[in-house]
Amino acid sequence: MTSSIEYMQHAIRLAKKGLYTTDPNPAVGCVVVKHNEIVGEGWHQVAGQAHAEVLALKQAGLAAQGAIVFVTLEPCCHTGKTPPCADALINAGVKKVVIAMKDPNPLVAGKGLKKLQDAGIVVETGLLETQARALNPGFIKRMEQGRPYVRIKLAMSLDGRTAMASGESKWISSEASRFDVQRLRAASSAILTGIETVLTDDPSMNVRISADELSLDVCDGPLRQPKRIVLDSKFRIPKAVKISSLDGECIVYTTMHVDNKDDYPFIIEDGCTQGSGQDARIDLSLLMQNLAEKEINLLHVEAGSVLCGALLKNGLVDEIIIYMAPHVMGDKAKGLFHLPELEMMKDRISLTINDVRMIGNDIRISAKPVHIN
């Protein structure tokens, strides 16, 4: 006999199918079970389209009456782009709903559970909650703390260098690692970099793999392009740069007042400023709040040591992914983080390593600063 844990594990596997296509919505999976058999299943496939519960109930049909439903996130109870999933479950006549985690969205946040219970449906919560939370770290961070989940991606040599003294950095990591980075970009809401990276490398900062390469079966056209964000305090960005000329939205944050904003091929934001005059800087905490208001869940950072160091120093980094390549670049090359204020061992920033694996000939390390909740 299949256990409740196995049914929820299947719902989590279904949810993972939507990781590249549901943003800014969370990825959700749902399984409808009757007489210990799966009679319907679904996952949220594309933002703005039917939710997981609705698709699973549609597949189950009349068999949904009296069934048990396993879903990775609390069913919604409000009308957005689609009707409430809690109503769909009630109307289908299910007898029990097992929910991995409550929805942190204030519009739901327990209200979906109560609606089901008020309709006489048995509700259980917390089954495989940790695994369910891991599906949507960005959505949860934005709902619970009002900022995106920030992930820094870095490539380094065996001796911890990210660029030569000249600034040259192509290519440190292998082709396999660069493909892996494309997967990270594709799952992100936005990609952040600094003006120095733009001026030095003229990067594209876009997704350059196909739906077929990601084994997606719900994406007919090109993949969704994450927003591209540039921090440019003094507004030095040229009009003709790759990051602003490709498909998708490009936003430049600056401390300068810019006339004729519509003349530029990107959106200009100048409201996240700390200080004034020549000392004005982009306030990273205000930036995060602004990005959350734009429904950015997962912020993927590919930037130089100064910006990466500033994010880390300000406690705004949730995860660091490092691709370590098997070569040596020497002591004149640049390091990962510019943190000149760290002078004593007591000042060091500790990390917890969550995962280490081989990607081609490189080693990929996933780590989390210990101060992050």
Catalytic residues: 53
Distance CA 53, CA 70 (A): 9
List the structure tokens of 327: 């070569």
Q: What is the dihedral of CA 333, 307, 369, 171, to 10 degrees?
A: -40
Q: What is the dihedral of CA 275, 141, 207, 30, to 10 degrees?
A: -160
Residue type, 169: S
Distance CA 181, CA 186 (A): 9
Are 103 and 109 in contact, with CB atoms under 8 Å apart? yes
Distance CA 143, CA 146 (A): 6
**How long a stretch of residues is the chain?**
373
Residue type, 8: M
Are 264 and 235 in contact, with CB atoms under 8 Å apart? no
Q: 288-294 long-range contacts, Cβ below 8 Å, gap at least 24?
A: 288/146, 288/147, 288/148, 288/150, 288/316, 289/146, 289/147, 291/147, 291/148, 291/190, 291/229, 292/142, 292/146, 292/147, 292/148, 294/227
Contacts of 226 (CB under 8 A, 6+ apart): 185, 186, 188, 189, 190, 191, 206, 207, 248, 300
Distance CA 223, CA 369 (A): 31
The shares of helix, strand and coil residues in the chain, as percent rounded to the nearest 5, are 30, 25, 50
